[in-house]
Amino acid sequence: MLDEDGYFGESVAAGYDESSADMFASDVVEPAVDLLTELAGSGRALELGVGTGRIALPLSQRGVEVHGIDLSRAMVQRLRAKPGGEAIGVTIGDFATTEVDGTFSVAYLVFNTIMNLTTQDAQVDCFRNAAGHLEPGGRFVVEVGVPDLRRLPPGQNAVPFHVGEGRLGFDLYDVATQSMSSHHVRVADGRGSYLAVPFRYVWPAELDLMARLAGMRLRDRWDGWSREPFTSESRRHISVWEKPSD
pTM for the full predicted model? 0.93
Inter-CA distances, 178 with 67, 135, 201, Å: 31, 32, 6
213/127 Cα distance (integer angstroms): 8
Phi-psi region of 11 (alpha: psi -120 to 50; beta: other; left: phi over 0): alpha
Phi, psi of 113 (to 5 degrees): -65, -25
133/139 Cα distance (integer angstroms): 10
> Contact, 76 vs 98, CB < 8 A?
no
Domain boundaries, the chain: 10-146+203-242, 149-197
Question: Does domain 149-197 match CATH 3.30.70?
Answer: no
Inter-CA distances, 11 with 15, 110, 113, 171, 195, Å: 7, 22, 19, 21, 10
| Adjacent-strand bridge partners of 141 | 108, 240
Render pLDDT for 60-71 as a digit per residue (tens, 0 to 9).
999 999 999 999
Tell me what pLDDT residue 179 has: 97
- One digit per residue, the tens of pLDDT, for the chain of length 246 reads 455 667 788 888 888 878 788 999 999 999 999 999 999 999 999 999 999 999 999 999 999 999 999 999 999 999 999 999 999 999 999 999 999 999 999 999 999 999 999 999 999 999 999 999 999 999 999 999 999 898 898 999 999 989 999 999 999 999 999 999 999 999 989 999 999 999 999 999 999 999 999 999 999 999 999 999 999 999 999 999 999 997
158/156 Cα distance (integer angstroms): 6
> Contact, 213 vs 140, CB < 8 A?
no
Render pLDDT for 42-91 as a digit per residue (tens, 0 to 9).
999 999 999 999 999 999 999 999 999 999 999 999 999 999 999 999 99
Q: Say if 10-146+203-242 and 149-197 have the same CATH topology.
A: no
Tell me what pLDDT residue 1 has: 41
- Expressed in percent and rounded to 5, the helix, strand and coil fractions of the chain are 30, 35, 35
149/160 Cα distance (integer angstroms): 12
Q: Name which CATH class applies to 10-146+203-242.
A: alpha beta
